[in-house]
Amino acid sequence: MIEIASPLVGKVDLAGEQVKLSELRTGLLHIRGKAAEQVLNAAAMAVGDVLKTDEGLLVRLRRDEFVLLTEEVNAATERIAQQIGDQHVTLTDITHGRGGMTLSGKRVNDVLAKVCALDFGKFVNYHAAQSSLAKVRALIIRHDGGDLPTHHIIVDRSMAAYVWDVVWDAAQEFAHA
Amino acid sequence: MASSISMQTHRLPPAPSQIINREKVVTFTFEGKEYSAYEGDTIASALAAAGITTFSRSFKYHRRRGLLCCAGNCPNCLVQVGEEPNVRSCVTPAQQGMKVGAQNVFPSLDVDMMSSTQLVDRFLPAGFYYKAFMRPAALWPLYEKVLRNAAGLGEVDTDAQPGYYDKVYKHADVTVVGGGLAGMQSALAAADADARVILIESEAQLGGHLRYSGQSRGETAVHIQATSLAAKVAAHPNIEVMKNTLAFGRYDHNWIGAVQGNRLIKLRTKSLVVATGAYEIPPVFENNDLPGIMLGSAVRRLIHLYGVVSGTTAVVVSANPRGLETALKLIRVGVKVAAVADMRAELDAELVAQLQEHGVIVLPQTTVIKAESGMTRLESVHLRSLDGCHQREVSCDLLVLSTGFMPANELLLQAGAKVAWDETLNEFVLASLPENVFAAGEVTGSHNETDIVREGELAGLQAALAAGFDGNNRAQSLRLRVAPLQARIDELQTEIKQTREQRTAWTAAQLAEQAGKKDFVCFCEDVTSKDIKQSIDEGYDSMELLKRYSTVSMGPCQGKMCNVNALRVCAHYNGQTISETGTTTTRPPVKPVMMGALGGRLMEPVRVTPMHDWHVKRGAKMMNAGVWKRPEHYGNPIEEVRAVRERVGLIDISTLGKFHLHGKDVPALLERLYVNRWRKLGVGRVRYGVMLNNEAVVMDDGVTACLRDDFYYMTATSSGASSVYEWIESWLQGGWKLDVHLLDATELRAAMNLTGPYAREVLQKVCEGIDLSNAAFPYMHAREGKVAGIDALLLRVGFTGELGYEIHVPSGYGLHVWQALMSAGKEFGILPFGVEAQRVMRLEKGHIIVGQDTDGLSNPLESGLEGLVKLDKEDFIGKTSLVFASEYGIEKRLVGFEMPDGTLPEEGNQIVRVGNGPIGLEIIGRITSVRRSPTLNKVIGLCWLPAEMCDVGQEFSIRVRGELKRGRVAKLPFYDAEGVRLNS
Amino acid sequence: MILLTCPNCGQRNVSEFRFGGETVQRPSPTETTRATWAEYLYMRKNVLGVQSEWWYHGACGCWFIAERHTKTQEILETYFLPEK
C-alpha cells in the first residue's frame, strides 16, 4: 500500500507549553446535494455545526454540502451510498486535495487572531467556519481534546506548507509564554 | 557618567507626577555629541534637560526651531534616528546608543547655510515653483536637484532591511480611543454595563492631560486622581487597555486601524467612543516660530512628566484658565514670570490674585504681536492691548502660549461626523454623529472637568447600549438592563444640555493678522499669513484650493497646528465667516504610521505541486505562475524541446484547473458554457472547448472528458481555475435550474503530461488495465486504469504536438507516479521539461494561450478559433454578442508569422506602418508570442494584424528595440501540419 | 472594511467576498435587439441609494444578493436568489 505523501514533509511540530501545532492527517469525504441532509440524517444540523459520529466528525458547510472527517473514507462512502437511492447526492473523496494542521493549547485564540479575522472569543466547541486564514481559504473546526481548546485548520494541499509556516511563526510569541 | 548628568542644567528635582526613573541612565548622541537620559525620558526631554533649544531647521527657510508642542503634533522636533527619518523626538523614548541627527541641514544644525534662503524669500513665495525657475526649460533638472536638496526632511536608507512586523485582529463591543479623563469614564461606564471594552491610549500611561495639569487644586491631587482612575480601569475585568497604541483610522462599520510598536491592529468594534481630546494651537504673530516659544501644554508636560524646564524668564499669553495655572506652575519651579498677557476681558479672579501676590504683571485684553530673536532663541516679545492703545516690550527667553484649542476629531470626521464652528467658543463643535459613534471630552469642545466627566459616562453608556444590539437582528446580545441604562442616559443628556449653554471660550477669537513677513500659519511648510493672502489674491481662494496651492497644512502635522489659523486667515482675507469658509477633508492616518507596520505580517501565499521538491532537487529554475511555483526549465530548455520531439519528456501540469461535474444536466450545461457541441460527446471521449463571456470575449479554454453519462471531468487554465469555478457557479446559482454538482478538483489530482515519440513505450511499462494501442486508445479519448499501481485517469490530448498522455492521479500519489514514469523512461532518454519548453512547442503547433495571445477584447472569430464556434447551436454564453459583432465583419486577426532575417523580436513589440503617429508611425498590431524554434530553426510567433493583411506571405514592419524589422505571415501550425505525430 | 452578511456563513469582512455587479435582468438571448443586448451588457443604473447587487463568498462558494446603500454603506439585506 503506497502511502499518501504529506504536504507538510519536513515541517517540525511546535510543542510549546501554551501552544502546540502538529499535522492533521485525516480522510475527508465530501457530500453534496439537496437531499444530503436526509441521507445523513442531519436535518437538525445548522451550517457551521460539528457532529461527532462513530465514523468521525461531520461538518455542515452549506445547506447542501457536508464534509466528514474520518479514517475510513471508503467504508463511509459505501455506507452513505447505500442511503442515496436515486437522489442526486455526490460523494467525493477529497482527502488528497487538502492539508491539515491542529492547533491546541491555552493561547490558541491569540495565535489565530494573528492570521484570521474571525472572533475566536465567540468560536465555541463543535463549531466550524470557512473563512480566510493567512489570506487563503480555510476550514476551521473547533473540537476540544480534554479541556484545552483545539482547532483544526484544513486548507488546499498546495497551500498547506505556506499556511503552516505562517501559523508556526504566529505561534512563536505565545508558545512558551 | 556623573559629569554627563551634571550637564542636565534644566532638570528639576523629583516629583510624584514624573515618569522618569532616575536610577537608570542611558546615553545617546545628538549631532555627534553625547547626551544622557533617564529611563522614561524622550529624546527631546533629555536634550531639553541639557539645555538644547534648537532641534531642527524649518522646511523652506531653514529657520531655527525649538520644542513647540512636546506631544508629537508639530514638526519642530523631527530628527533622524539611525536609519529612521522623521522621528518625533518629543514622543520617542531615548534608548541606549541611539544616533540622533538633525534633518536637511548643511553643514550642521547650528550652522545651516541654507537659512540664507530667508534672504531671498521674496523669490520664494507660495507656489513659487509654479512661476519661478521655469526658463530655460533645459535647466529644470538642475533647479529640481537644488530645490530637492534644499527643501526636505529626513533621509531614507535604500539599503535598509525590512523589519519584522506583526498583525492581529481584535474584536470589541465598545472601543474607547483616548485614555484621558473622558475616555476612562467612558470605558468604566461601558464596562459596568457588561460591554467588552478596549481602551486605546497613544501614550505610555493613562490619564491624558490630568498627568500634567493642576495648579489650582494642587498638583498632587490631580496626579493622584489620574493614577487611581487608571488603576480602576486596569482592574476592570471587562476592559482591555492598549497603551502606546495609535488608532490611526476609522473605516466602514467601525473598523479601526491601529499601530502598537511594530504590530498592526485591525479592530472591529460595535460602538466607538472618541475621547481624543484637543490639540493646543499657537496664535499667529511675527516670529512666532522662534526657539523658546512653547505651548502651555508643552511647558507643563516637560515639567510634570520629565522634570524639565526650558527657560529662566517667561512671558505667558493666555486665553483660558490653564494659561494662568501654567504661569503659577512656572513660578513654583523657579522661573521668573515677567508678565502674563490674557486675551480675555474677564479673568479667573483667584488665579490672578495668586499671580499678583508673586509680583507678576497681569495684563487683560492683551496679546503678543511680535517676538524678537537673539542669536539662537527668543530674546523678547512685544505685547499689545487688543484695542491697540498700549504696547510694551518684555525681555524673556520663554514665551508660553495658551490661547486656543482644536479638537482632535480626525477619527470622528473619518466616520462621517459633521462639525460646525461655534462663534462663542471659537472652536469646531460636533454637529452630528453617525450611528454607533460617540464622543466625549475636549474633542467636543468641553474643557470644564465636570462636563468632561459627564460626557465620558454618557458616551460609554450610549456606546454600550448601541453595542448591545446585533446589527441586522436588533436582538439583544449583551446582558443589559436596558431601562436603567436608558434612564441614566436621559439624566446625563439633560445635565449636559444645560451646562453646554454655559460653556465659556477657551480659545481666543482673534489672531494677530499683521501679515508680517514671518508670522507663521503653517510651521511644517513655512507658510505665512502673507503667503495665504497672496494665494487668495491670485485666485486660490477656497480652502481646498488654498491648501493645495500654498501647501498650508500639507506637512507632517497635517493641519493639527495650523488648520484653524489657516481657516481664520482665509476667512479674513475673503471677508467671510469661518462657517462660510468650510474645512478640508481629513483622511487616515491621524498621525504618521510606518509603511512596514501597514504591511503587517508578511503573508504571501505560495502554491506548490506535489512534485515541487523533486523539481527543486533536480535543479529546476522555478518561476512564479501566478501564486504557483513551476519549473521554468531544468537548465536547458532547448535540450528539453529536443528530448520531447525526438524521444520523450515529462512535465508537471498539476496547476491545471480541474473540475468534477456530476448530474444529468451536465451536457446541457456544457452546451451553454462552450462555443462548440457537447451533447453527443460519448463516454470515453475528450473534447477541446473554449468559453466566452457575455461579450463574446475568449475567457478560458481547456479539454473536457466524458467519464460517465452523468460525470464529466473538465480542465481549465491554471490561472483561470478559480474564475472558471466562480463563473460556472454564478450561472448555476444565478437562475439556471440545472441539476449539476460542480466540484473544484484542482487540488485533488496531480497531473503530468508524458509526451514524445516513445511516450507509449514508457507508459506501457507502468500502466495496467488499459489497452494503449492507437486503435484502442485514440487521440482525444480518456481511459481509466492504473499507473504505477495507482488509480489514474489518462487523457490523450496534445498541447506539445507529440504523442502524449495526460496522467491525472490523486495528489498524494503524484510524486510516486512521477518518479515511476521518470524511472520507466530512463532507457528512452526521458527528460523532465518545464514551462519554457512547453511554450516553445505549443507555439510550433500554433496553439494559443488565452490571456497572452488573446486579450480583453478578443472574440473567437478573430482569434483563429472560428472552426470551433457553432453558431447554429440554440444558445451559448457569448453567442448573442458574437452574432452581433460578426455582422460588422472581422477587423483584425491573430495569425502566425515568421522572421525572414532571423531577428528575435520581443513579446509586446508593436507592428507599425507609416501613418499619423507621433514619429510618423501608427500602430496596427502587436506580437503576442515569439520564440526561436529549435525544431524548425527559425523565429516563429503569433501576432495581431489588420484583417486585410493576414494572407500568408504578407510582410509587415515590427518596431524592435527602436528599429524596424520585417515579419511575414505564415501558415499555422508551423510543425506537423497533418497532425501525424499527435495521432500516432 | 464593510461588514457583509453571507446568508450561509454570517457576518464577515468584505475582503472575503468578490463584488459581482448590479443585478440585471438578462434579456432572452435569442429574441433581443442589439440595443437591448448592449444595455444588458454595459448600462447600469449606478444609483445614489439602495442598490441590488451580486456578491460571491469565496470561502463557501455561495453567490448572493445584497441590498446596499451606495453612500452610507448600510447593508439592508442579503439573501440567496429566491427559488421561484
Inter-chain CB proximity A2 and B789 less than 8 Å: yes
With a cut of 0.95, is the ipTM above it? yes
Co-location of B413 and B269 in the same domain: yes
Taking the C-alpha atoms of residue B582 and residue B563, their distance in angstroms, rounded to an integer, is 11
Which residues of chain B lie closer than 8 angstroms to C60, CB-CB? none
Contacting residues of B for C1, CB less than 8 Å apart: 251-253, 255, 266, 268
Q: Which of A130, A139, A154 to mutate to test the interface with C (most CBs of C within 10 A)?
A: A130
- Does residue B215 register a pLDDT over 60? no
At residue B230, does pLDDT exceed 90? yes
* Chain mean pLDDT for chain B: 92
Measured at the CA of A171, the angle between CA A165 and CA A107, to 5 degrees, comes to: 145
Q: Which residue of A has its CA nearest to B602?
A: A166
Does a structural domain hold residue A8? no
Q: Where among B439, B472, B501 does a domain terminate?
A: B501
Terminus-to-terminus CA distance in chain B, angstroms?
Answer: 89
Using CB atoms, list chains with 3+ pairs below 8 Å to chain A: B, C
Nearest to B654 by CA among B612, B700, B597: B612
**Do A96 and B748 count as a contact with CB atoms less than 8 A apart?**
yes
Residue A44 distance to chain B (closest CA, Å):
22
Which residues lie below 8 Å from residue B584, measured CB to CB, with a gap of 6+?
A: B543, B544, B547, B553, B559, B563
Give the one of B166, B662, B812 whose C-beta lies nearest to A4's C-beta. B812
Verify that B577 and B433 share a domain, yes or no.
Answer: no
CA–CA gap between residue B716 and residue B704 (Å, rounded) = 9
Residue in the structure block whose three cell numbers are 537620559: B37
B339 and B398 assigned to the same domain: yes
- Look up the CATH number of the domain holding residue B670: 3.30.70.1400
DSSP letter assigned to residue B828: G
Could you tell me the residue ranges of all domains in chain C? Answer: 3-79
The number of domains in chain B is 6
Partner-chain contact B741 A4, CB within 8 Å = no
DSSP H helices in B586-720: 595-599, 612-618, 637-646, 666-673
Task: Identify the domain containing residue A64 by its residue range.
Answer: 27-95
Residue B544 is predicted with a pLDDT of 92
Question: Distance from A177 to chain C by nearest Cα, in Å?
Answer: 30
* Sole residue written with cell 504681536: B369
User: Given pLDDT bands bounded at 50, 70 and 90, which one contains residue B218?
Assistant: low
Query: Closest Cα partner for B560 from B426, B439, B408?
Result: B408
**Cα of B375 to nearest chain A Cα, Å:** 53
CB contact under 8 A, A5 and B815: yes
The proportion of chain B whose per-residue pLDDT surpasses 70, expressed as a percent, equals 97
Instruction: Domain of residue B40: give its range.
Output: 2-150
The reply to whether residue A32 touches residue B608, judged by beta carbons under 8 angstroms, is no
3 state DSSP class of B964: strand
The total domain count for chain A is 2
Give the whole-angstrom CA distance, residue B729 versus residue B751: 24
pLDDT digits (tens, 9 = 90+) for B141-175: 888 888 777 777 888 888 888 889 999 999 999 99
Mean pLDDT computed over A78-83: 95
**Type of residue at B954:** Q
Task: Judge if B247 and B145 occupy the same domain.
Answer: no
pLDDT of B501 over the 90 cut: no
Task: Please state the rounded mean pLDDT for residues C54-58.
Answer: 98
Are B467 and B374 part of one and the same domain?
no
Phi-psi region for residue B891, left (φ > 0), alpha (ψ -120 to 50) or beta? alpha
pLDDT tens by residue, B71-90: 999 999 999 999 889 999 99
Give the nearest partner residue to C16 out of A47, A61, A132, using CB atoms: A132
pLDDT at B2 over 60: no
- Asked if C61's CB is within 8 angstroms of B729's CB, the reply is yes
Q: Are residues A108 and A169 in the same domain?
A: yes
Q: Of B962, B651, B930, which is closest to residue B814 (Cα–Cα)?
A: B651
Residues of B with CB under 8 A from a CB of A: 166-171, 196, 266, 268, 601, 603-610, 613, 628, 660, 662-664, 739, 741, 743, 745-749, 789-790, 810-816
Please give the average per-residue pLDDT across B664-680, as a whole number: 96
| pTM attached to this predicted model | 0.93
B263-274 and B166-177 strand pairing: parallel
Q: Is residue A7 domain-resident?
A: no
Q: B644 in a domain, yes or no? A: no
**Last residue in a domain, options B745, B771, B796:** B745
Identify the domain boundary among A68, A95, A122. A95
Same domain, A90 and A101: no
The pLDDT score that the predictor gives to residue B478 is 53
Examine the domain organization and report whether A66 and A120 are in the same domain.
no
Domain finish residue from A44, A76, A95: A95
Which of B470, B811, B819 is the mutation pick for testing A, counting most A CBs within 10 A? Answer: B811
Judge if B270 and B319 occupy the same domain.
no
A71 and A126 inside one domain:
no
C12 vs A contacts (CB less than 8 Å): 117, 131
Residue A6 belongs to a domain:
no
- Provide the grid cell at C68: 446596499
Asked if the C-beta of A47 comes within 8 angstroms of chain C's C-beta atoms, the answer is yes
- For chain C, the DSSP string reads --EEEETTTEEEEGGGEEEEEE--PPPPSSS--HHHHHHHHH-----SSEEEEEEEETTTTEEEEEEEETTT--EEEEEPPP--
Last residue of a domain, one of A75, A95, A115: A95
pLDDT of residue B855: 95
Which chain C residues are closer than 8 Å to B875 by Cβ?
A: 29-30
CB < 8 Å to A168, chain B: none
The three-state secondary structure class of B535 is: helix
Tell me the CATH number at A109. 3.30.1360.120
At which of B550, B573, B597 does a domain end? Answer: B597
> Tell me, what's the pLDDT at B63?
92
Contacts of A63 in chain C (CB under 8 A): 8
Q: Are residues B184 and B103 in the same domain?
A: no
pLDDT in tens, B366-393: 999 999 999 889 999 999 999 989 999 9
Q: What pLDDT was estimated at residue B353? A: 95
Q: B372 and B381 in contact (C-beta within 8 Å)?
A: yes
Hey, are the CB atoms on A4 and B813 less than 8 Å from each other? Answer: yes
Facing residue for C20 by CB, picked from B266, B725, B730: B730
Domain match, B299 and B267 both? no
C-alpha to C-alpha distance for B901 and B886, rounded to whole angstroms: 36
Does B355 lie in the same domain as B253? no
Which of the other chains make 3 or more beta carbon contacts under 8 angstroms with chain B? A, C
Q: What confidence tier does B472 reach under pLDDT thresholds 50, 70, 90?
A: very low
Which residues in chain A touch residue C7, judged by CB atoms under 8 angstroms apart?
A: none
Q: Is any Cβ of chain C less than 8 angstroms from the Cβ of A80?
A: no
- For residues B344 and B481, membership in a common domain is answered with no
pLDDT at residue number B753: 98
The pLDDT assigned to A1 comes to 74
Task: Supply the pLDDT for residue B481.
Answer: 67
Residues from chain C contacting residue B882 (CB–CB below 8 Å): none
Give B508-545 pLDDT, tens digit per residue.
Answer: 887 656 666 799 999 999 999 999 999 999 999 999 99
Residue A62 has its nearest CB partner, among C8, C13, C15, at C8
Neighbours of chain C (3+ CB pairs under 8 A): A, B
- Read off the pLDDT of each residue in C3-19 and give the average, rounded to a whole number: 97
Same structural domain, B269 and B412: yes
- Fold designation for C3-79: Folate-binding fold (3.30.2270)
- Written as one letter, the residue type at B256 is I
Instruction: Please give the Cα distance from B882 to B871 (Å, whole number).
Output: 9
| Minimal CA separation from B811 to chain A, in Å | 5
Residues A58 and A120 in one domain: no
Burial of B972 (0-12, 13-18, 19+ CB in 10 A): buried
Q: pLDDT by residue (tens digit) across B795-853?
A: 999 789 999 999 999 999 999 999 999 999 999 999 999 999 999 999 999 999 999 99
Q: What is the pLDDT of residue B414?
A: 97
Pick from A6, A96, A119: which is nearest to B810 by CB?
A96
pLDDT given at position A177: 65
- Per CB-CB distance under 8 Å, the chain C contacts of B734 are 54, 63, 81
Interchain pair B726, C56: CB under 8 A = yes
A77 in the same domain as A20 = no
How confident is the model at residue B704, as a pLDDT?
Answer: 98
Lowest mean pLDDT among A60-74, B213-227, B357-371, B503-517: B213-227
Pick C30's closest partner by Cβ from B472, B725, B875: B875
